[in-house]
Amino acid sequence: MPHLSRLTSLALAIALLGGAPVLHADQAPIAPPPAADQNAAPLPLDELRTFAEVMDRIKAAYVEPVTDKELLENAIKGMLSNLDPHSAYLDPKAFAELQESTSGEFGGLGIEVGTEDGFIKVVSPIDDTPASKAGIHPGDLIVKIDGKPTKGQSMMEAVERMRGKAGSKIVLTLVREGGKPFDVELTRAVIKVTSVRSQMIDPGYGYIRVTQFQVNTGEEVGKALNKLRKENGKKLSGLVLDLRNNPGGVLQSAVEVADHFLKKGLIVYTKGRIPNSELRFSADPLDASEGVPLVVLINGGSASASEIVAGALQDHKRGIVMGTDSFGKGSVQTVLPLNNDRALKITTALYFTPNGRSIQAQGIVPDVEVARAKLTRESDDPSLKEADLQGHLGNGNGGADRPSQGAPGKAARPQDDDYQLSQALNLLKGLNVTRAD
């Protein structure tokens, strides 16, 4: 009875793989085996027989030889990838790459991806990477990688194909908003993500851009607030926190960033099936932002940790959320290390905003909707003004020189070509006018 013997060994292997030592070891004292198994459902013998039979049929009939080890690895990958788009089995290479991505340096194209209807979908391109420079947009569907279809492929398999040696080329076939497929050629690079950038965008008004939530992002945002305050010489009149096309990252960092703008109250809480997935994070009394008027920019590429920050600030009415609906990834993934440098990345909880809103598959709806648009001048006046002439006399009243808009050497401002950012700045200025009245 070869099938019965094979079934017995497979059942034992599956019981060991599917048992709970990793998840439950630090939650309760280890109970004797009979007591621990009393409430567990019995193993589905019919399905195990089918599993064993499928393995035997593949080994006997598949066009190329395949080992039990390969088949079991593939079965484990299938178990994880069919749970949801964010759960995955990580082999040693994928596990190492995940650790690299949260530390801020990794190789590839700079795209955060998910799955939709069996296709690979772009969640967000990361700033200053081959993907963003090539004009890839959130929501683009990747239908082919180097001419090979992605339909039905797992997210981890697609990511593996897109990664490669820096300097090597790859062609992605994309579909945008139901249009015709088009090809984009990219050159892979070592992706060095600068998590936080900041600058003054107008006298009294600061700008902080968070591209991804890494381990040190909370600390970096605190430093950016101090830097802007020093540059301004006094308390800021307003601040834009830009979370557009931010695919998320480390949960704790999102909490720290939100805490910089809050003095009290809940920031986020999570709910799951296991006790250690029930977490609550609250703000401390310090407010690094000094209560500065705040606009938070989001769009369809703002996901996960970005939505935690935007949702917390929105619920506490700490700032005005502007832009378009966010991505809607309201689930928490936990990485569970296994033996042999492998790991499971598995969804263990859903997170909720302070008011109890689940963001999963819904996203954050902005307080002020501002669609993406391109700013263009109706006409540029090429004529020179007095202030453009070398050696011109200054203004006797002490006013600042006003050269022509097209004068050489005039520095471009970030909001000049960014409609959403310009509207955020206008809103902040309007708030200050209203307060002054």
Domains delineated in the chain: 107-192 (2.30.42.10), 196-369 (3.90.226.10)
pLDDT digits (tens, 9 = 90+) for 344-391: 999 999 989 999 999 998 899 999 999 987 656 554 455 556 666 666
pTM: 0.74
Within 13 Å and on the Cβ side, how many CA atoms surround 406? 7
Written as tens digits, the pLDDT of the chain (437 aa) is 344 445 444 444 443 333 332 222 222 222 233 334 456 678 899 999 999 999 999 999 999 999 999 999 999 999 998 899 889 898 888 888 777 666 666 678 998 888 877 789 998 898 889 999 999 999 999 999 999 999 877 787 888 889 888 899 999 999 998 899 999 999 999 888 889 999 999 999 999 999 999 999 999 999 999 999 999 999 999 999 999 999 998 889 999 999 999 999 999 999 998 878 889 999 999 999 999 999 999 999 999 999 999 999 999 999 999 999 999 999 988 888 988 889 999 999 998 999 999 999 889 999 999 998 765 655 445 555 666 666 666 666 655 666 655 444 555 677 878 999 999 999 999 987 666 55
d(CA 306, CA 153) in angstroms, rounded, equals 27
- Calpha distance 200→233 (Å, rounded): 12
Residues involved in catalysis: 304, 315, 329
Q: Mutual orientation of helices 68-81 and 45-61 as an angle, nearest 10°?
A: 130
Taking alpha carbons only, the member of 359, 339, 358, 336 closest to residue 348 is 336
Residue 198: which H helix or E strand, with range? strand 196-202
β-pairing verdict for 141-145 and 88-90: unpaired
**Can you tell me whether residue 55 is helix, strand or coil?**
helix
> Would strands 119-125 and 368-369 be described as parallel, antiparallel, or unpaired?
unpaired
